[in-house]
Amino acid sequence: MVFFHGRRRAGPDRFLLVKLATLILGGVLGLVGMRVGNSLLVSVAIGVVLVGFLLRFLPKPTDAAGHGEVREPPDPTES
């Protein structure tokens, strides 16, 4: 597809579980805050979701020499 041209998978995301947890926690806090009419709780929920979003922009882990991402060597049994 044209929209995803040149995009490659960067490997496992080390913050995936934290991102999911912040999204779920922020959503629950937001719904509870709207239900009880507490704007402070809704604001906290927005902050929690933003923290999860900002985790996306943390740098990728590098190897000991600082040359980009840590990559495993290719498996010689695969062709």
Q: Where are the domains of the chain?
A: 14-57
- The pLDDT of residue 59 is 78
> Is the pLDDT reported for residue 3 higher than 70?
no
Average pLDDT over residues 45-74: 76
Taking alpha carbons only, the member of 21, 43, 42 closest to residue 32 is 42
For residue 43, the 8-state DSSP code is H
pLDDT of residue 61: 66
Does the pLDDT of residue 68 top 80, yes or no?
A: no
Rounded to an integer, the average pLDDT of 44-60 is 89
CA 75 to chain centre: 28
Q: Cα(15)–Cα(23) distance, rounded to whole angstroms?
A: 12
Give the per-residue pLDDT at 72: 67
Centre a 10 Å sphere on the Cβ of residue 26 and count the other Cβ atoms it contains: 21
Report whether 6 contacts 56 (CB < 8 A): no
Compute the mean pLDDT over every residue in the chain, rounded to the nearest whole number.
80
